[in-house]
Amino acid sequence: MASLPASAWDKEKAGVLLQRAGFGGTPEEVDALARMQPWQAADFLLGSPELAKADPPESITRPGLTEQQRYLRRRLTLLTPKDREEKASQLNRAVRAEQERRLTELRGWWLDRMANSATAAREKLVLFLHGHFATSEEKVRNPVLLYRQNQMFREKALGPWSELVLGIARDPAMLIYLDGAKSRPEHPNENFSRELFELFTLGEGNYTEKDIQESARAFTGWTIRMTKKPGEAMDEETTEPYFVNYPKWHDAKSKKIFGKSGGFDGEDVVRLALEQPAASRWITGKLWRFYTGSNPSPPMHRELVATWDENKGQIRPFLQAMWTHPEFYNPELARNRVKSPVEWLVGLCRQLGRALPAPALASEMTSQLGQKLFAPPNVKGWDGGITWINTASLEKRYEYGNWLVGGTVGMRRLGEMDLARLAIQSGLLEVPRPMIEGNAVDDPNVKKDFAEKRKAAARQARELLAISPAPLGPLAGPDERQDPDRLVAQLSARLLPGEPTPPELQARYRKATGEAIPLNDAAVRQTILAIVQSPVYQLG
């Protein structure tokens, strides 16, 4: 594969690499990359293997249900059918609220890793894998399983592609999500084998219905095991499922897959799929689109496939080669790639040198913009690209950009959000559990008491979720405050790396500075907002 010569490497391209391989950064980080050789810069961003280690949030180490919730589930059997249904609904609401709180903490933990310069590039790849092997909390109700899948991506992200594909085939969250755990020889479930070929490894048109059916037979026996306590239901909410290969549930008879016959199992299916010529074309095309926003040209795609095959599907050397290819820095690419909500939020915070919002608010912001982590819309993941942008989401980007630059003054800007719900997600309020004592009637004061607690928790949430104004010191020094053109040039270089700014946008940014010299804080913030709220900032 062609490689960018050292003589062509400069700050502009270093900024582009930092933006596309990670989530953008500060001028100091760009300068550090610019002082390296292109290959060294790519290697530096990918980091050392030790960076794959990640201790989970504290709540993830706990069982799916508390002992009290387990106790209440057992007590439900003492009720009449009518009361049991009502109390079970109340308990499920409390359980779901606790699960969402834990998932909110998990999302905040992951966003923090994305915002960390040492782990940003690896986490960008984990974000790709999360969308590629999409799995949702809507069906996988145990946050522990979603964390474990996320960590599996992190640990295997830069190794052989075959290990990642095999890892997802054995992943308990995926086995639940695509019903592989329920597949049996007499009724093999085709969901996973279909998506394995269509979405994960080959793409449409590169397999037959017979390949899917025979592969479904091969995957039988790959399931999950759950250890339950006496008297409890056996489900992924009350236990921590783990992968097992159960021979009694495996169809060991001969199958014919991709023209080859044998008593294949799941490992064989993964191997056979990745041996198909379409396999390397599929994943290299998806990686190129993820990082550049465009389909590779036929010659470029041939280079990508050749490099992938030369490296035997090892992801790290492939990314290094792709990130140092001259075409990766084609200015036209920036105009085709729309930042995802997560990339937009993390990137803006990194560029402004500010902390991320509190986990509940950060999760709400990305969700409102169309990307809720651990909850992709379907097995295809997010469509991405221009689908990230519509009238409502663009207005939200502009509004949230205002918050991150200027702060949430007086909290008026959070008025439209459900602060009580965010308080629950932040651990400030617990959803009341149902009262279950035989056929006892609920205390009539419980609802009233909870309503008062909601109001108090919402007030607390206002303080917890408040966003302070972005610090201006690193963004505009005394010299820039004396020279509006210099301020615009500096902010453009920082916020729009590698993007030549059209004259009409330069004039718009310059107009935002006003006429008074020296520029005060309000003028600086208006200039930053003029860039952040421009269409070009949504790209890159």
Kindly give the residue spans of alpha helices, DSSP state H, lying in 116-133: 120-132
Residue at a domain's end among 270, 305, 332: 332
Domain that residue 289 falls in: 279-332
Residue 515 is given by DSSP the state S
Residue 385 CB partners (closer than 8 Å, separation 6+): 293, 337, 338
Mean local confidence (pLDDT), 374-392: 95
Per the CB < 8 A criterion, the answer to whether 472 and 518 are in contact is no
* Phi, then psi, of 256 in degrees rounded to 5: -120, 115
Mean local confidence (pLDDT), 433-456: 69
In a domain, 308, yes or no: yes
In a domain, 389, yes or no: no
| Secondary structure of residue 201 in the 3-state scheme | helix
Inform me whether the pLDDT recorded for 235 exceeds 60.
no
Residue at a domain's end among 309, 332, 355: 332
β-sheet bridge partners, residue 338: 539
Q: pLDDT (tens digit, 9 = 90+) per residue, 503-536? A: 888 888 889 888 889 999 999 999 999 999 999 9
Tell me, letter by letter, the H, E, C secondary structure of 235-280: CCCCCCCEEEECHHHCCCCCEEECCEEECCCHHHHHHHHHCCHHHH
Q: pLDDT (tens digit, 9 = 90+) per residue, 31-58? A: 999 999 999 999 999 999 999 998 899 8
Residue 465 CB partners (closer than 8 Å, separation 6+): 357, 358, 360, 361, 408, 414, 419, 422, 426
Tracing tokens 């290094």 back to the chain, one arrives at 320
Cis peptide before 518 (omega within 30 of 0): yes
In a domain, 316, yes or no: yes
Between CA 35 and CA 29 the distance in angstroms is 10
Containing H/E element for 290? helix 277-292
pLDDT tier for residue 441 given thresholds of 50, 70 and 90: very low
pTM over 0.85? The answer is yes
Between CA 132 and CA 380 the distance in angstroms is 7
In a domain, 357, yes or no: no
One DSSP character per residue, 444-460 reads THHHHHHHHHHHHHHHH
| Secondary structure of residue 225 in the 3-state scheme | strand
pLDDT tier for residue 438 given thresholds of 50, 70 and 90: very low
> Of 345, 437, 439, which is closest to residue 388 (Cα–Cα)?
345
Share of the chain above pLDDT 70, in %: 92
The structural domain count of the chain equals 2
Tell me, letter by letter, the H, E, C secondary structure of 424-439: HHCCCCCCCCCCCCCC
Q: pLDDT (tens digit, 9 = 90+) per residue, 2-13? A: 899 999 999 999
Inform me whether the pLDDT recorded for 434 exceeds 90.
no
Residue 93: C-alpha distances to residues 48, 89, 99, 339, 384 (Å): 43, 6, 10, 34, 32
Q: At what angle do helices 359-368 and 81-115 cross, to 10 degrees?
A: 90
Q: 63: how many CB neighbours lie within 10 A of its CB?
A: 15
In a domain, 465, yes or no: no
**Measured in whole angstroms, how far is the alpha carbon of residue 351 from the centre of its chain?**
19
Between CA 518 and CA 535 the distance in angstroms is 28
Residue 196: C-alpha distances to residues 202, 252, 262, 282, 376 (Å): 8, 20, 20, 12, 17
Containing H/E element for 223? strand 222-225
Distance spanning both ends of the chain, measured CA to CA: 23
> Of 291, 287, 315, 312, which is closest to residue 301 (Cα–Cα)?
287
Q: Mean pLDDT of all residues in the chain?
A: 90
